[in-house]
Amino acid sequence: MVKENQGAKMKKIKLILVALVPLVFQACVTNKNLSSDEVLNKAIGGCPNHQMTLITLPSRGAIADAMAISAIKAAGNDGGFSEDFSRVISSEPKNITVYCSNPQKLEATISHTFTLYKENSLKGVSVCIVGMSKNKELTDEARRTGAAITFVP
């Protein structure tokens, strides 16, 4: 009986490890940790407007980011980003640059923020995404809201 319990526990541990390895591997492959200077240089070189507010979203690792993405998608909990976004676009210039070393978290956060706005309500707002290649879903949402969007990989 004891050996059966130990065997079952080992099986569970193996399953957990098998489930976590792809997450850790994905984090190692997709995350591009840029320094503040590198982010700023990419923004200046790739974003259309050099007068901008730069917001860096923290990445806390694969598991924490996966939990954050779930919270954003399930409950709209974006850690206060949408309030910061709203505050930035309420003043001039309406140029916001956003960076996160985890592109999935960046996509989920920006996508959620765009869903909070009605059609054409972001006309005149420029959003520059640093660290992410062009994304159809975000491009479509930006078009719907009237925001201009630029991707700087």
Q: Which residues contact 134 (CB under 8 A, 6 or more apart)?
A: 151
Place of tokens 């079952």: 8
| Per-residue pLDDT, 27 | 43
Q: Which pTM does this prediction carry?
A: 0.76
pLDDT value for 34 = 86
Q: CB 108: neighbour CB atoms within 10 A? A: 21
Token pair of 62, please?
């694969």
What is the Cα–Cα distance from 135 to 84, expressed in whole angstroms?
22
Encode pLDDT of 109-144 as tens digits. Answer: 999 999 999 999 999 999 999 999 999 999 999 999
The pLDDT mean for the chain works out to: 85
